């Protein structure tokens, strides 16, 4: 025996030796019996009670012959009535789904799908007989199912698959009314009626099964109008499939369809449409709805719960992201306190519009089943009835199902490298572990100490210094691997089944010592060594850049020297003198040709000097101009021939300007002009080979030895630098010295008969 006086459930809990336990209330002289029910897995466990204990959260613990049984007052929120059990035992699905109900004089009337007719029960659960038979008008096996009760004085109006029926329970008399707007002999689904609302004292608006809306006059007892979609009328009904209808306190009528929501204007017979969008994109088919005290609508759908402000004509969507248990919502009801109740495929949810929070209930919280798709509405004693297949659940909205106890969150175990690791308590009461750098596999187990539907407990963790955000833990087991050295704080928090969160839960300080290569002195040494190597690299790079700069300067100086060599003042003077002689001798045509070629040569040299490299064919064109001028200047005392491979003319071959001009000049001035007798021949040939350009300059002059003797004999004051400069340029381009070969030619008598210069130059494309 255990005394619970002064608690939410006052009285005496008494255990028996064979009949379970019961709660006895001395003041009311009443008792509540707790016994094993083979049909109910949440019923009392065992027959023999050996001990009873109540904890600080008002839970009553029973030690029985079959184990521990916990009676939690917070889980007594739902009163399940499995009325199908008395008919079919455990096969309650054969009873059908409670789709509608009506209450009168303490008796309950149920329409059950697909049962034919009406069930009538007393509140204690006794089945009562029902007078009268509802005559079917269709051949459907569901023709006698009742989908809606509409009380009207001493009679009931029933929505069935056999049309609209007026039924008098006292006399058992029933009359069916069939619409003349449709031919039910052709399509029997036209007989399906689902819901009635009153437009005024004389007229009903009736929702049909997939055939629009019907207007029925009670006085005339006939259907007076039929509303269906019209293709060319945007003010007509948007769909024949009507999912719900309801009326506000100002008699505004709203209708839900697969095309959204619409408002009916009875006086005009028109409909105003409002589209509900899922995530602001897709139009949502809307299902059942209910009106709150402010005349706003709460509407279910397969994409969440919708709130429609009838004043602002604006939708607000609530989904699982807001805390709803499931986005597939079936029915909705708003209680007197403004709380919104929603049935789903996974239980029942309650929404508080003020706090914007959901409470979700499942079979773990005491519900009979998970799937609730039947009737949902108030009873005469202000409870909420939720129908399901096999029975119904009564909910007392006055009771608070909220578990307001802040749940303790405690660390249960710490493991390091898969072995138990003890933590140390500091003076401040904090838990701390100190680890080496290689102890980097850490496991922490923690739990929320809440035993009221513990399946709905939630656990979070965050490692300060490592995690940026909180992480949800499904099991309460945390694993960290390869944590770098440092100090961390593992923070925990948890929530109970009602979402009450403990923000100041258990925590664990973790200190990981660094390895020697992670210490400051080692890192400083490495940084210093790296800096030294970097400085050495920078110095070497600077020296390399300086050498490269010096090389570029040398190339530039060489190019300028080459330009000056090309513009030999003696050559220019001789050319101008020759032009002057031609003019003096009145050989104007020759002077004009000479002057034109001379000007073109000078222009080419100046243009080409702007570029480091030019096309090979263009350089050879300039070389030919130079040879032609020399030929004219020497009064055509020598002949020349230039042979160019076609690939040179067509391909992408580039060379420094006038790279071989000094060799040609040397052949003419010192080889050919010192020769007596004819013929005097100059041959130049050019061809490519393996990305190199091969030049040959051959003359049949006096040879290098004789030319040197003539030069010494004449004591020329002009010091020719062209050959040396060109050889330096070729060396800079090719990067090697053996690119120029000069061969002295001899005849059959071993006498000098000319010179052959061979130049190999890398293509500069």
Spatial distance between the Cα atoms of 7 and 57, rounded to a whole number of angstroms:
11
* Cβ atoms 658, 605 nearer than 8 A: yes
* Cβ atoms 112, 98 nearer than 8 A: yes
Residues of the chain with pLDDT > 70, as a percent, come to: 90
Residue that is written with structure tokens 């889980």 in the block: 75
Q: How many CB atoms lie within 10 A of CB 478?
A: 20
What dihedral angle (degrees, nearest 10) is formed by the CA atoms of 211, 212, 218, 224? -100
Averaged pLDDT score across all residues of the chain: 85
Spatial distance between the Cα atoms of 687 and 241, rounded to a whole number of angstroms:
90
| Mean pLDDT in residue range 28-36 | 83
| pLDDT number for residue 227 | 94
Closest of 116, 211, 117, 125 to residue 156, by C-alpha:
117
| pLDDT number for residue 153 | 83
Express each pLDDT in 36-90 by its tens digit: 877 666 788 889 999 998 887 778 899 999 999 888 776 777 888 888 777 777 7
pLDDT band at 138 (very low <50, low <70, confident <90, very high): very low
Which one is predicted more confidently, 576 or 9? 576
pLDDT band at 239 (very low <50, low <70, confident <90, very high): very high
pLDDT band at 135 (very low <50, low <70, confident <90, very high): low
Is 646 exposed, middle or buried, given 0-12, 13-18 or 19+ CB atoms closer than 10 A?
Answer: exposed
| pLDDT number for residue 609 | 76
Is 588 exposed, middle or buried, given 0-12, 13-18 or 19+ CB atoms closer than 10 A?
Answer: exposed
Express each pLDDT in 331-357 by its tens digit: 999 999 999 999 999 999 999 999 999
Express each pLDDT in 529-551 by its tens digit: 999 999 999 999 888 888 877 77
pLDDT band at 3 (very low <50, low <70, confident <90, very high): low
Spatial distance between the Cα atoms of 254 and 268, rounded to a whole number of angstroms:
15
Both tokens assigned to 356? 């914007």
| pLDDT number for residue 569 | 57
pLDDT greater than 90 at residue 198: yes
Express each pLDDT in 642-685 by its tens digit: 999 999 988 899 998 888 888 998 898 888 888 888 889 999 99
Which one is predicted more confidently, 177 or 515? 177
CA 231 to chain centre: 40
pLDDT greater than 60 at residue 307: yes
């Amino acid at each position: 025996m255990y005394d619970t006086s002064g608690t939410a459930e006052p009285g005496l809990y008494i255990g028996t030796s064979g009949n379970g336990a019961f709660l006895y209330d001395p003041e009311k002289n009443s008792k509540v019996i707790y016994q094993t029910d083979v049909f109910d897995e949440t019923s009392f466990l065992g027959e023999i009670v050996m001990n009873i204990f109540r904890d600080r959260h008002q839970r009553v613990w029973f030690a029985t012959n079959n184990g521990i049984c916990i009676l939690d007052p917070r889980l007594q929120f739902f009163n399940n009535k499995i009325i199908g059990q008395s008919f079919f035992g455990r096969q309650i699905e054969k009873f059908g789904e409670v789709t509608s109900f009506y209450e009168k004089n303490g008796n309950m009337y149920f329409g059950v799908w697909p049962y034919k007719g009406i069930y009538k029960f007393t509140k204690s659960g006794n089945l009562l007989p029902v007078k009268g038979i509802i005559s079917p008008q269709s051949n459907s096996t569901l023709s006698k199912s009742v989908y809606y009760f509409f009380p009207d004085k001493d009679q009931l109006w029933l929505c069935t698959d056999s049309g609209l029926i007026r039924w008098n329970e006292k006399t058992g008399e029933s009359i069916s009314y069939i619409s003349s707007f449709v031919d039910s002999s052709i399509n029997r689904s036209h007989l399906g009626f689902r819901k009635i609302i009153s437009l005024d004292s004389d007229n009903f608006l009736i929702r049909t099964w997939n055939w629009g809306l019907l207007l029925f006059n009670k006085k005339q007892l006939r259907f007076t109008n039929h509303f269906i979609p019209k293709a060319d009328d945007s003010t007509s009904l948007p769909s024949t499939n009507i999912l719900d209808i309801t009326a506000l306190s100002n008699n505004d009528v709203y209708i839900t369809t697969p095309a959204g929501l619409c408002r009916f204007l009875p006086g005009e017979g028109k409909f105003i449409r409002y589209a509900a969008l899922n995530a602001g994109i897709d139009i949502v088919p809307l299902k059942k709805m209910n009106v709150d005290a402010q005349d706003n609508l709460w509407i279910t759908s397969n994409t969440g719960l919708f709130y429609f402000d009838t004043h602002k004509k604006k939708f607000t969507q609530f989904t699982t992201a807001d805390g709803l248990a499931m986005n597939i919502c079936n029915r909705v009801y708003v209680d007197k306190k403004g709380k919104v109740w929603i049935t789903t495929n996974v239980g029942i949810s309650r929404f508080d519009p003020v706090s914007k929070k959901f409470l979700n209930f499942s079979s773990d919280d005491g519900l009979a089943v998970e799937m609730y798709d039947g009737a949902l509405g108030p009873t005469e004693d202000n409870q909420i009835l939720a129908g399901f297949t096999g029975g119904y659940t009564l909910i007392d909205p006055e009771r608070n199902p909220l578990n307001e106890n802040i749940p303790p969150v405690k660390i249960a175990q710490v493991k390091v490298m898969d072995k138990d690791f003890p933590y140390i308590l500091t003076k401040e009461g904090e838990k701390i572990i100190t680890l080496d750098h290689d102890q980097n596999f850490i496991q922490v187990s923690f739990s929320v100490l809440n035993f009221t539907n513990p399946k709905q407990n939630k656990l979070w963790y965050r490692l300060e210094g490592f995690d940026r955000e909180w992480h949800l833990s499904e099991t309460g087991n945390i694993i960290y691997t390869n944590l770098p050295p440092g100090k961390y704080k593992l923070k925990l928090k948890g929530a109970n089944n009602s979402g009450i969160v403990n923000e100041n839960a258990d925590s664990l300080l973790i200190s990981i010592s660094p390895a020697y290569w992670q210490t400051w002195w080692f890192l400083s040494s490495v940084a210093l060594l790296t800096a030294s190597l970097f400085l050495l690299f920078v110095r070497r790079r600077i020296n390399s850049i300086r050498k490269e700069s010096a090389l570029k300067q040398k190339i530039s100086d060489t190019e300028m020297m080459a330009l000056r060599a090309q513009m030999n003042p003696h050559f220019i003077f001789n050319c101008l003198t020759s032009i002057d002689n031609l003019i003096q001798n009145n050989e104007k045509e020759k002077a004009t040709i000479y002057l034109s070629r001379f000007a073109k040569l000078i222009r080419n040299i100046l243009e080409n000097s702007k570029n480091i490299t030019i096309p090979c064919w263009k350089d050879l064109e300039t070389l030919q101009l130079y040879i032609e001028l020399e030929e004219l200047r020497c009064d055509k005392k020598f002949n020349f021939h230039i042979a160019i491979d076609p690939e040179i003319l067509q391909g992408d071959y580039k060379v420094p300007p006038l790279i071989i001009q000094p060799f040609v000049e040397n052949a003419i001035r010192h080889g050919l002009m010192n020769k007596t007798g004819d013929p005097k021949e100059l041959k130049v040939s050019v061809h490519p080979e393996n990305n190199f350009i091969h030049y040959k300059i051959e003359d049949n002059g006096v040879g290098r030895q004789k030319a040197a003797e003539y030069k010494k004999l004449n004591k020329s004051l002009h010091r020719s630098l062209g050959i040396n400069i060109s050889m330096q340029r070729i060396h800079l381009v090719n990067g090697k010295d053996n690119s120029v070969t000069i061969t002295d030619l001899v005849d059959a008598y071993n006498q000098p008969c000319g010179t052959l210069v061979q130049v190999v130059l890398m293509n500069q494309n």
